[in-house]
Amino acid sequence: MRAIILAAGLGLRLQQPPQQQFPKCLLRFQGVTLLERHLRALRALGVDEIELALGFQPEQVEAELDRIEWQPRPAIVLNPRYDLGSVLTVHTMADALTRGGDVLLMDADVLYDEAILRALVTGPSTDRLLIDRDFETGDEPVKLCLKDGVPVELRKQLAVGLQYDTIGESVGFFRFREETARRLAQIVAGYVTSDRQNMPHEEAVRDLLLEGGRRYDVADVTGLPWIEIDFPGDVARAETEVLPRLAQPAGAVR
């Protein structure tokens, strides 16, 4: 199993002064970066093949890998146009998507309980989504909607009249079997060749889910602590609401 961690973005919504900006995967909580937390959680579950999709200030991420002396060193792929949409970042990871075996596609800017990752990774080869049914309504969460267990939508804004029986927030982590990951790579390539590289990669994942012909496991992680960090208020919530409920990663380098 291979993990692709998307960490190329600039994180403008954190509203940091330009001279203080850094990749969001280097946000620290209790002295431990999100990146280190990802790496340790993946290793604990037996996932050592990790590729980082970087763009903004990759040298800072390299320095963090040096600081924590992480081995085996994750492969690094650069997206020089990180200022465009994340679909282009996923496109730069085409080799990792199509090399074979199950693939984990993960946003880097998430602080989460390791049980969430365990729900994604455990078990035989499968296509798997994560859903949290306890979420705040509004335009920001990416909603995952199901009808009879089948995905019918993955978007922030839902169409009027959409029929579903289950709704929740997507955690931003996906597991794809080899053939499904290859198909996602094809869809993403279509976005780029049709000049839609400025789109979020969730749109390409949505196309994958809605084209049918596959069964998706949906792991319900409702009640487990996690937060996607986009805004300054998310950092505060991460520190006061989520972090106290998490265990310190074993062997973390402060």
For the chain, how big is the Rg over CA atoms in Å? 17
CA distance 164 to 153: 9
Residues above pLDDT 90, as percent of the chain: 88
CA distance 146 to 98: 27
What is the pTM assigned to this prediction? 0.95
pLDDT over threshold 70, residue 12: no
pLDDT value at residue 137: 85
pLDDT value at residue 46: 96
Torsions phi, psi for 168 (to 5 deg): -165, 180
pLDDT value at residue 193: 97
pLDDT value at residue 13: 67
CA distance 85 to 28: 25
Question: What DSSP line would sit under 66-129, residue for residue?
Answer: HHHT-SSPPEEEE-TTTTS-HHHHHHHTHHHHHSSS-EEEEESSEEE-HHHHHHHHSSSS--EE
Dig out the tokens for 139 from the structure. 């335009």
DSSP 150: E
Residues in contact with 206: Cβ distance below 8 Å, sequence separation at least 6, in sequence order: 153, 154, 155
pLDDT in tens, 79-121: 999 999 899 999 999 999 999 999 999 999 999 999 999 999 9
pLDDT in tens, 166-203: 999 999 999 999 999 999 999 999 999 999 999 999 99
Instruction: Report the mean per-residue pLDDT for the chain.
Output: 94
CA 85 and chain centroid, separation: 14
CA distance 61 to 65: 6
DSSP 238: I
pLDDT over threshold 70, residue 19: no
Domain ranges of the chain: 2-128+171-199+225-245
Q: Are strands 143-147 and 150-155 parallel, antiparallel or unpaired?
A: antiparallel
pLDDT value at residue 58: 97
pLDDT in tens, 121-170: 999 999 999 999 999 888 889 999 999 999 999 999 999 999 999 999 99
Dig out the tokens for 232 from the structure. 């300054």
Measured torsion, CA atoms of residues 134, 135, 137, 142, in degrees rounded to the nearest 10: -130
Spatial CA neighbour of 214 closest among 151, 171, 169:
151
Pick the CATH number of 2-128+171-199+225-245 from 3.90.550.10, 3.40.1190.10, 3.20.20.70, 1.10.10.10: 3.90.550.10
Largest CA distance in the chain: 52
Residue 206 identity (one-letter amino acid)? R
Q: CA angle 22-28-34, nearest 5°?
A: 85
Q: Using DSSP, state whether 151 is helix, strand or coil.
A: strand
pLDDT value at residue 16: 67
